[in-house]
Amino acid sequence: MSKSLKRVRDALAAAGLEAELIEMAGSTRTAEEAAAQAGCALDQIVKSILFRGAESGRLRLFLTAGGNKVCPERAAALAGERLGKADAAQVREVTGFAIGGVAPLGHLAPVESWLDPRLMAFERVWAAAGTPRHVFAIAPDALAHVAHAEPARFTV
């Protein structure tokens, strides 16, 4: 088991949650690929979108339904500063995951996080489990709890 998968498994276990980490036959790098692999609706896919604070340099995580896009202005209002694109090196340094497999939990350092309310419409959603081919299913309220993510409107 890779270090990334183990960190996700351990974070779920520490929160008292049981979730099967599933290796998919094909890529889950994009929401569309993940939905096809999981056999679920596009909006049941949790995208982990990271932005970098323009002034602070801190990463912010927006857990977004697969078919939604983050509104830069709404996201910046939540973060309290302008946001820019997070680069791959900083994403890996802070979360421990490579882009395309960033899990919503198990990060190396705390990341302020918000959750798209659209995800709450489902009994379960699917999130990356730390690699571009692994996912896990979870109830959205449990995801919000374990990811320390505040539900907020930040999509267009």
The structural domains of the chain, with segments of one domain joined by +, span: 3-151
Tell me the pLDDT band of 55, cut-offs 50, 70 and 90.
very high
Q: What is the pLDDT of residues 60-97, one digit of tens each?
A: 999 999 999 999 999 999 999 999 999 999 999 999 99
pTM: 0.96
Mean pLDDT of the chain: 96
Domain 3-151, CATH class in plain words: alpha beta
Provide the Cα torsion 110, 1, 43, 111; round to 10°.
10
Q: What is the pLDDT of residues 109-126, one digit of tens each?
A: 999 999 999 999 999 999
Instruction: Give the contacts of 29 (CB within 8 A, at least 6 positions apart).
Output: 100, 101, 132
Q: What is the pLDDT of residues 20-53, one digit of tens each?
A: 999 999 888 889 999 999 999 999 999 999 999 9
How confident is the model at residue 100, as a pLDDT?
A: 87
